[in-house]
Amino acid sequence: MDFNYSPSERAFRDEVTAWLAAHLPVDLRDKVVRYEELGREDLLRWHRILARKGWIAPAWPKEWGGTGWSVVERYIFEEACGYAGAPPLIPFGLAMCAPVLLKFGTDAQRQRFLPRIYRGDDFWCQGYSEPGSGSDLASLRATAVRSADRYVINGQKTWTTLAHHADWIFCLVRTAPRDARKQEGISFLLIDMKTPGITVRPLMLMDGGHEVNEVFFDDVEVPLENLVHEEGKGWTVAKYLLGHERMNTARIGTSRRELEALKRFARSQPKDGCSLYDDPRFRDRLSRVEIELMALSLTNLRFLDQLRGGRAPGAEISLLKIKGTEIQQALTELMMQAAGPLAQPFRPLDEAHAEFDRFMAALAPRYCNYRKTTIYAGSNEIQRNIVAKHALGLP
Ligand SMILES: Cc1cc2nc3c(=O)[nH]c(=O)nc-3n(C[C@H](O)[C@H](O)[C@H](O)COP(=O)(O)OP(=O)(O)OC[C@H]3O[C@@H](n4cnc5c(N)ncnc54)[C@H](O)[C@@H]3O)c2cc1C
């Protein structure tokens, strides 16, 4: 097993790092590192800069604009972007709908949607979860009834991230009544968010932010041509897509950057005649997170080495989601501990902490917001079940 980058991989990393230093807009980076909310235009601006460079869809086949990079190069790129403070790329079009269309779509669907996703013309969202159907996704109840040349959709989706920005939603709907095997009779549809009968209502998270929504469908008419794969075989599509969703949750580069910010911040905080950074108890907690992050990075490299050798990692890929999100949460907890009362958003910030003003003002809302990471993209309990059953062979 080889945990090291080859000379060409190191050269590639240097090239990406230099390009990011020159092309990542400072105002966008500042928003990211200070945890300010990114709007649709912020997200699309960065998307389009990468699209012009030809780096927006590394994993796509070359004929559709992919870069032809190896899996290791793709990982290096993602980590460098996270570390540099680049805005996250919204995965719904690029990393979820597109792979589905490439595998299951018709030529017409690919021609129609992929170039628009690539250029950032369309903003997508994901309509899987429903009230009562999250972990048990196959119990979903939204229906699509076929009538002449269209489906008529009724039902509700929930937790729909960024639906308020979205032009399109991909949805799992029931096209046949639920029978003994609930995974049967589900279909995968592409729905234009401007279609009459769609209502988007915000769900405010406990940090006061608006990123998720409820989406209601009342007699929404969708052309038959927007069905992906066979009618009733949407579960096959859904499973394929969830595999892609879980690949992108470790966010190692971002956590490395945040760990460094935390260390800088702890050094600036006085504690018993020295700094908080020198406090053995704080140091102990900090070191634990740092070690976990190093271990996660090695686990990731282990998966990459498997992929480099042509072997797809199995269910153990869920470890990236579990550990990655636990580390993200642990970092927010340590930042709160380091900032103490200064982490209150309503507290006036003083001169002595000017460098960290905006950063600290965002800590409490961010701490609250990050409770989500162990729930979304399949909760960590469900990921543990997957590892237990499929990687460890437990009953
Ligand atoms: C911020 C955020 C954004 C999201 N964005 C989207 C989106 O864009 N599109 C979308 O479709 N969905 C989205 N989701 C929904 C997400 O996928 C679900 O919240 C998640 O799958 C959990 O489902 P649930 O909320 O219904 O909880 P439940 O499934 O009701 O689970 C409740 C608790 O029970 C545990 N649990 C459930 N079943 C088991 C089991 N078998 N074994 C052990 N423990 C179990 C869970 O781990 C959890 O702790 C988002 C969620 C959040 C929080």
Report DSSP letters for 84-112, one per residue: HTPPPPPHIIIIIIHHHHHHH--HHHHHH
Per-residue pLDDT tens digits for 316-329: 889 999 999 999 99
C-alpha 61 – ligand 1 centre gap (Å)? 32
Q: What residue has token string 């059953």?
A: 389
In this prediction, residue 235 has a pLDDT band, given cuts at 50, 70 and 90, of very high
Active site residues: 245
Residue 124 backbone phi and psi in degrees, to 5: -110, 155
Structure tokens at 37: 């909310």
What pLDDT does residue 347 have?
Answer: 46
Q: Smallest Cα–Cα separation from 342: which of 356, 332, 328?
A: 356
What pLDDT does residue 173 have?
Answer: 98
Round to whole Å and give the CA distance between 351 and 110: 55
26, 90, 381 from 159: Cα distances, Å = 31, 15, 18
In this prediction, residue 36 has a pLDDT band, given cuts at 50, 70 and 90, of confident
Residue 374 beta carbon below 6 angstroms from any ligand 1 atom: no
Q: Does the pTM of the predicted model rise above 0.85?
A: yes
Ligand 1 atom with minimal separation from the 211 CA:
1
Per-residue pLDDT tens digits for 337-366: 998 877 765 544 555 555 566 677 788 888
Residue 324 beta carbon below 6 angstroms from any ligand 1 atom: no
C-alpha 343 – ligand 1 centre gap (Å)? 29
| pLDDT over 60 (residue 156) | yes
The packing angle between helices 26-33 and 40-53, to 10°, is 130
C-alpha 254 – ligand 1 centre gap (Å)? 23
Residue 383 beta carbon below 6 angstroms from any ligand 1 atom: no
Residue 129 beta carbon below 6 angstroms from any ligand 1 atom: yes
Output 329 or 313, whichever has higher pLDDT. 329
For the chain, give the mean pLDDT. Answer: 91
Residue 385 beta carbon below 6 angstroms from any ligand 1 atom: yes
Percentage, residues of the chain above pLDDT 90: 74
Q: What residue has token string 């990692």?
A: 313
Per-residue pLDDT tens digits for 254-266: 999 999 999 998 9
Q: Candidates 37, 123, 157, 159: which one to mutate for ligand 1, based on the most atoms within 8 Å of Cβ?
A: 159
49, 115, 177, 362, 390 from 367: Cα distances, Å = 30, 37, 42, 9, 32
Residue 134 beta carbon below 6 angstroms from any ligand 1 atom: yes
